[in-house]
Structure 1
Amino acid sequence: MSQRSATYDAKLLRRPFRRWWRETGWRHLVGVGVVVFSVFPLIYVFSASLNPGGTLITANNLFSNFSFDSYVELFNRPQQPYAAWFLNTLFIGLTAAAGSVLLGALAAYAFSRMRFTGRRFGLITLVLVQMFPQLLAMVAIFLLMLGIGEVFPAIGLNSQIGLIMVYLGGALGVNTYLMYGFFNTVPTSIDEAARIDGAGHARIFFTIILPLVSPILAVVALLSLVGTLSEFVIASVLLRDPERQTLAVGLYQFISQETSQNWSIFAAGAVLAAIIPVALFLVLQRYIVSGLVAGSVK
């Protein structure tokens, strides 16, 4: 058996170039092209952050200038507190991601394990509502938060808690449907065995189901965090004080005024802001493929 496998491997090594190119080689070329297409913008932004010129014209020559002055100046602007923006984004993003995971998991568990009137209609409604982005309801959200702020200022306009609640309000649809397919892959016999032992829905959910569906929880948390970090419109409308704004809103100040555009500092801030999603992606990457694919079998 080993001799046959060795002979087969030797034949593969002696494949003609045309056959190798038709079967395998073109895939390597496509892979290299995708890598170059994906990495070049990152290299360009990093090069622009090291260019003290402040304009994109002087940054066209990659790494022609090398200086960390933009990173130093980024934290030395009292009117543009980058450190506060970073911490605000971290707090809002992690809180919104955790809330999205919890609410989505609770809803998915209810739709997957319980049978009640309007179950199918409710699940379809959650998905259909997500067809309309929150941007279409921006005026209604602003007026709603304005009214809430008059009664409860802590969750009204210019409140990070209020912004988190707005994010959570639009996080149920797709997350619930994504988790619903994954929850259906967990055998119901596990729930029945736990009920025989006297466990209720809460104990089954927190101690049995959640550990089994951890891949989809990681995927939803990562997607929610990335979406929160890159969200600009709602955060720019609801957050007024510079000390409470997020990175997406704060970084825009470096390039919003035509007479004081500084692309080097903007690029430096963007590079540092990318640390959060990249670090989480590296930590959670082993869950991403299984979390996205496993729920599609139902």
Structure 2
Amino acid sequence: MAITGNQAGPQTIAAVGEGPPTEVVRLGTAKGNWFRRVGWSHLVGVLALVFSLFPILFVVSAALNPVGTLSSSQLLPTRMSLDNFGAILSGSFPRWFWNSLLIGVLSAALSMFISACAAFAFSRFRFTGRRAGLLAVLLIQLFPQFLAIVALYLIFADITNLWPAIGLNSIWGLLLLYLGGALGVNTWLMKGFFDTIPKDLDESAKVDGASHAQVFFGIILPLVRPILAVTGLLGFIAAVNEFLIASVFLTDDSVKTAAVGLYGLVADPQTANANFGLFAAGAVILAVPTVALFQFLQRYIVGGLTAGAVKG
């Protein structure tokens, strides 16, 4: 029988043994409540994907458009051809592309190594001026390089008179400039990552007779591959895509980077419409190394996130 009234409270409780148990329906479950809990995030993700894919599709479409003008570019071209790629590769673009790759690879590799050495010193050693050095690196990285473009130009103009190989219109001079701008950010990123590595590993290696260099190259660097991959990737992307400083320092056609050279194709308003297809084709080719490098380093980034998992 059912118990009602004051004994059961405001609700009615079914007696035990009378009929099959009733289904318990809880409010707030997935029935009729999916969009409020997770559905809106799917909608935001779709909108973000469309927003990010639109410029990529437009540039690829313009590169495949045989007409090759901005006024005739469409999101989905009616005709497709590789004429723009053939035309851009037959000019000065291969030289610009090689300059960008050279600067990007050397800048990323050197800044990654120098920043790792500096971060190891700040993380493991205690010396006079350590705190002041960290604060100085933090303050310097707050100001972009372009704010000092006038001072940098005057400095490199004097360097050109003394050592033309590392002055203006020189790939090596621009490389030195990029190294100085990337060291601050990379050092702080790596220093924070180095702090998470237990110092017991260093002490154990030193007990076995290892030097500081052996600890750094043999123990620390293999453990910090994820942050090395991140800083290397960011340094490469920044060097390859940088335009403002490169356009000031590089004026000769033989030393231009791809970003500066491609801008020259559309800088003139009279020829910008006609050369837009060439510009889009060059932009697509320039994006290939970045995508390939990201795909190659992605396994190191993901592997570093799961390397500390403990099997039970």
Question: TM-score higher than 0.5 here?
Answer: yes
* Alpha carbons of structure 1 residues 173 and 161: separation in structure 2 relative to 1, 3 Å: same
* Cα pair 2:97 2:258 within 8 Å, conserved: yes
Name whichever structure is richer in helix by fraction. 1
1:151 maps to: 162
Q: How far apart are the structure 2 equivalents of 1:244 and 1:16?
A: 61
Partner of 1:5: none
**Taking every aligned residue pair, what percent have the same amino acid on both sides?**
52
Q: Does the aligned pair in 2 maintain the 1:216–1:287 contact within 8 Å?
A: no
Name which of 232, 242, 245 aligns with 2:243.
232
Q: Aligned residue for 1:172?
A: 183
Deviates more, 1:159-168 or 1:29-38: 29-38
Aligned to 1:120: 131
TM-score (ref. length: structure 1) = 0.89
Structure 2 partner of 1:73: 87
Cα distance 1:276–1:155, how it changes in 2: closer, same or farther (>3 A)?
A: same
Q: 1:217 and 1:61, CA in 2 relative to 1: closer, same or farther beyond 3 A?
A: closer
Cα shift readout 1:222-249 (whole Å, capped 9, x = no counterpart):
0001111111111112122211111110
| Unpaired segments ≥5 residues, structure 1 | 1-10
Q: Distance in 1 between matches of 2:116 and 2:181?
A: 15
Q: In the alignment, which of 55, 60, 69 is matched to residue 74 of structure 2?
A: 60
Aligned-partner Cα distance in 2 for 1:293–1:241: 47
Structure 1 partner of 2:15: none
Shift of 1:286: 3.2
Q: Is the 8 A contact 1:51 1:66 kept in 2?
A: yes
Q: Which secondary structure state, in structure 2, belongs to the residue aligned with residue 18 of structure 1?
A: coil
Equivalent AA in structure 2 for residue 75 of structure 1:
L
- 2:249 counterpart letter in structure 1: L
Corresponding residue to 1:195 among 178, 203, 206: 206
3-state SS of paired residue (1:171) = helix
Q: Tell me the distance in 2 between the aligned counterparts of 1:17 and 1:69.
A: 55
Q: What is aligned with 2:103? A: 92
Give CA-to-partner distance per residue, 1:130-189, whole Å, 9 cap, x none: 111110111111111111121111111111111101111111111111101100011101
Write the mapping of 1:25-64 to structure 2, written as runs, cut at 5 A: 25-64=39-78
Q: 1:61 to 1:240 in 2, by over 3 A?
A: closer
Amino acid at match of 1:165: L
Larger radius of gyration: 2
Alpha-carbon distance in structure 2 between the residues aligned to 1:16 and 1:100: 50
Cα distance in 1 between the residues matched to 2:104 and 2:30: 53
Aligned partner of 2:254 among 243, 268, 272: 243
For residues 149 and 290 of structure 1, the distance between their equivalents in structure 2, rounded to whole angstroms, comes to: 45
Distance 2:195 2:107 in 1: 25
Q: Which residue of 2 aligns with 1:222?
A: 233
Per the TM alignment, residue 195 of structure 1 is displaced from its structure 2 partner at its CA by 1.1
- 1:284 paired residue number: 297
Work out whether residues 191 and 204 of structure 1, in 8 Å CA contact, stay in contact via their aligned partners in 2.
yes
Distance of 1:20 and 1:142 partners within structure 2: 58
1:272 aligns with 2:285: yes
Over the aligned positions, Cα root-mean-square deviation in angstroms equals 2.0
- Provide the C-alpha distance between the structure 2 equivalents of 1:35 and 1:107, rounded to a whole number of angstroms: 38
What corresponds to 1:3 in structure 2?
Answer: none
Q: Which amino acid aligns with 1:151?
A: L
Match of 2:16 in 1: none
Question: For the Cα contact (< 8 Å) 1:216–1:292, is it kept in 2?
Answer: no
Unaligned runs of 5+ in 2: 1-24, 308-312
Instruction: Provide the C-alpha distance between the structure 2 equivalents of 1:33 and 1:171, rounded to a whole number of angstroms.
Output: 33
Q: How many residues matched?
A: 279
Looking at structure 1, the residues matched to 131 and 187 of structure 2 have their Cα atoms a distance apart, in angstroms, of 13
**Alpha-carbon distance, 1:61 to partner:** 4.8
